[in-house]
Structure 1
Amino acid sequence: MRFDFHTTSMSPQVLGDAAAELEQGGFDSIWTAETNHDPFVGLALAAARTERVRLATGLAVAFARNPMSTAMIANDLQLVAKGRFTLGLGTQKRNHITRRFSMPWSAPAARMREYVLAVREIWHCFGTGERLRFRGEFYRHTVLNPFFDPGPNPYGPPPILLAGVGPRLIEVAGEVADGFLGHVLTTPEYLRNVVRPILADSRAEVGKTLDDFDIHLTPIVVTGTDEVSFGKAADAARASIAFYATVPGYQVALESCGLGDLHAELLRVAGAGRLEDLPAVIDDATLDILGIVGTPAEVARKFYDRFEGLASSVALFDNSGDDLAPQLELNAALRAEQARRPDKSAVNAK
């Protein structure tokens, strides 16, 4: 099992400054999300200040860029990181793609499948010097003059992981990607009963298995060193869960753990104009189902009890901002819990 660091809010400079400490603290990977900062810039700074830790986007919005743009920046990061980069991609939602990024949206699963194939074909042409002739339904890449070709990457292409919640995107991840990024609302029931079977079937369709396939999780965590910090973490977690649970596409994950009515209740409160009341809909019982609540040691134990054998890596979704101490403590607790389970230490996606 690999234990990773995940940030949704660190600025590139802060992440660059923190990278060496995170590496020394024993994290296996550093993940950045495309929220209020570009997901690639901070990783470039982190790459220059680390030697061992892997660097990954978790996630970068694929449809905010064309495949050539993504292929170029991922290739450069693989160079800068000396082979330690992982490209994690997701679709985002339609209104963000069309209204925030002003980019086209249609058939997200089919488009994502073609997107990944296009990126891989571009990398292939970088490495071989062959003519670029990718013609798909959504993307066409047919010009790559030597002036614009970076040539072979000595570290090879980076792995690609895809995010998804619905069955079609999960299926695409199994077919064309090297791994799967679970959403923060991915419950053990959904992972066991829906995600993994779909991944196994789609891998089998292309003659592969889950043995070489990465499943990465980012569950929401509520912990703290005292009542004040614990209360702040709980408030932040309720707000995050309420935000995600209002998205229609995540309803399937809620239904998997008996919370199918939560989405409708949140929409009822939001429809009444009471947006400030949305976090209060997430009561303690719901918080404990969709989040992992407790001291760092308790969080580590609960994580293993829920997800052991279902995933290959985890980055606990903590709301501590730029404060590294809670994440470092959680990382230590996870490793201590793993050491206490010697017969089951190989928690992986195999």
Structure 2
Amino acid sequence: MLVDVTAAVTASPDDVEEAAVLAEADGFDGFAAAETRHDVFTVLTLAARATTRISLQSAIAVAFARNPMSVAVLANDLQLISRGRFRLGLGSQVKPHIERRFAMPWGKPAARMEEFVAAVRAIWAAWETGDRLMFRGEFYRHTLMSDYFNPGPNRFGNPPIALAAVGDLMVRAAGRVADGLLVHPLTSADYLHGHLVPLLRGARGGDLDGFSLEMSVMVVLGADEAARREAERAVREQIAFYASTPAYRPLLEAHGWGELADRLNLLSRRQAWAEMAAAIDDDVLDAFAVVGDPAVVAAALRKRFGGVLDRISLYTPYEVDRQLVAGVTAMLSTRSG
């Protein structure tokens, strides 16, 4: 497995740049940034100019807040600036954010995303070949590309595209049109092996060669007992937050925890955050997170995901000693055997 690191969702643009430099110095294979408080393409441009080796990924850029042409341009530029190190990660977000935060249309998200990716690829192909741009779909139409706006072929090639997906329809869409799947952190090893991988194989005609499975896995690490308790509390809160969202109910239901999902959703409506975290018992914690010192965490991650995930990162929604993370990384890295 290649080992990546993801910038904190609260990081400022300067923080993201610094984190990318540290990640490269610490020997990580890739660096990712999410789109929360800042534009993900902007912060990754800073990271690209400050690094030379590490790959850079949007994890994720909100596709439906944009259109295929704007994403094609942004991704093409970042591929140039990073000299071929960019990986385009796209996600749909959810209906309330698309309609009420971005004031953009929503509907048939899996079909829309599949067409979105196809449109981006059609635009890149027009730039590369010089052929007329003629993309007509249900949601997007791109039929104009004059030379004045055509950047031509990218000398580093087009970046790979990975899709974030939870529901079966979006997973199948990723298998059909993307180069990889960004697996949601609220995913157990059993669900990954027994459900997601078969779905992808079906969508791709049984062949996953050249297709990347990538996941940020929740872990509990701490330098001492007090730090570990705080880390465990934060991870239970994060699991509860994700599990309270109706879109993630199938992940819980697959383990027989459908009632828990319903209860968490009800508690979230009441903003009973402490009660939500307390509802995450040890069985739920163990299904979605790995707990232990660096050696235990690394061994557990290899056992759960070795041979399936191509890229992995540690999801630590709490302050964590950088050396602990580096220790896990060293034991997971393909370069260390």
TM tier relative to shorter chain: over 0.9
Higher mean Cα deviation, 58-67 or 13-22? Answer: 13-22
Contact persistence 1:245–1:263 (CA under 8 A): yes
Any idea what SS the aligned residue of 1:220 has?
strand
Tell me, yes or no, if structure 1 residue 241 matches structure 2 residue 239: yes
Task: In structure 1, give the amino acid aligned to 2:171.
Answer: I
- Residue 209 of structure 2 aligns to a residue in which SS? helix
Residue 262 (structure 2) aligned to one of 258, 261, 264: 264
Q: Which moved more, 1:183-192 or 1:5-14?
A: 5-14
Q: Which amino acid aligns with 1:176?
A: V
Instruction: State the one-letter code of the partner of 1:139.
Output: Y
Q: Do 2:189 and 2:287's aligned partners in 1 also have CA atoms closer than 8 Å?
A: no
Aligned to 2:17: 16
User: 2:253 aligns to what SS in structure 1?
Assistant: helix
Q: Is the alpha carbon distance of 1:162 and 1:324 closer, same or farther for their aligned partners in structure 2, counting shifts above 3 Å?
A: same
Deviation per residue, 1:160-208 (Å, 9 max, x gap) = 001111111111111000011100011111111111111111111xxx7
Match in the other structure for 1:29: 30
Further displaced range: 250-259 or 118-127: 250-259
**What is residue 127 of structure 1 aligned with on the other side?**
128
2:6: which partner in 1? 6
Q: Name the counterpart of 1:254.
A: 252
Whether contact under 8 Å (2:222, 2:320) holds in the other structure is: no
1:280 partnered with 2:278: yes
Cα contact 1:180–1:214 (8 A) shared by 2 = yes
Aligned to 1:219: 217
Shift of 1:272: 4.8
**1:106 deviation in Å?**
0.3
Give matches, 1:199-348, under 5 Å.
199-204=200-205, 209-272=207-270, 274-320=272-318, 324-335=322-333, 339=337
Letter in 1 for 2:213: I
How far apart, CA to CA, are the structure 1 residues paired with 2:271 and 2:43?
Answer: 37
Instruction: Report the secondary structure of 1:315's partner residue.
Output: strand
Question: Which residue of structure 1 lines up, in the alignment, with residue 153 of structure 2?
Answer: 152
- Alignment pair present for 1:143 and 2:141: no
Displacement of 1:130? 2.0
Please identify, of 292-301 and 5-14, the stretch whose mean Cα deviation from structure 2 is larger. Answer: 5-14
Within 5 Å, which residues of 2 pair with 1:40-51? 40-51=41-52
Given residue 280 of structure 1, which amino acid in structure 2 is its aligned partner?
A: A
Q: Secondary structure at the match of 1:300?
A: helix
Deviation at 1:30, TM superposition (A): 0.3
Distance 1:322 1:105 in 2: 38
* Paired position in structure 2 for 1:186: 187
Q: 1:337 to 1:66 in 2, by over 3 A?
A: closer
Letter in 2 for 1:268: L
Q: Deviations over 1:286-329 (max 9, x none)?
A: 21221111112111111112112221110111124697444323
2:238–2:317 contact (8 Å) kept in structure 1: no
Q: 1:271 to 1:50 in 2, by over 3 A?
A: closer
Which residue type is aligned with residue 128 of structure 1? T
Deviation at 1:219, TM superposition (A): 1.2
- Supply the distance in 2 between the matched residues of 1:150 and 1:271 (Cα, whole angstroms): 48
Aligned length: 336
Instruction: Give, in whole Å, the separation in 1 of the partners of 2:217 and 2:114.
Output: 26
How far has the Cα of 1:217 moved from its partner?
0.9
Amino acid at match of 1:2: L
Q: How big is the shift at 1:215?
A: 0.3
Equivalent residues of 2:222, 2:321 under 8 A apart:
no
Which stretch has the larger CA shift, 152-161 or 120-129? 120-129
TM-score between the two structures when normalised by the length of structure 1: 0.91
Mapped contact 2:221–2:320 kept (Cα < 8 A):
no
2:323, 2:36 → 1: CA distance? 22
Cα contact 2:294–2:325 (8 A) shared by 1: no
8 Å Cα contact 1:297/1:337 also seen in 2? no
Asked if the contact 2:215/2:309 (under 8 Å) is kept, the reply is yes
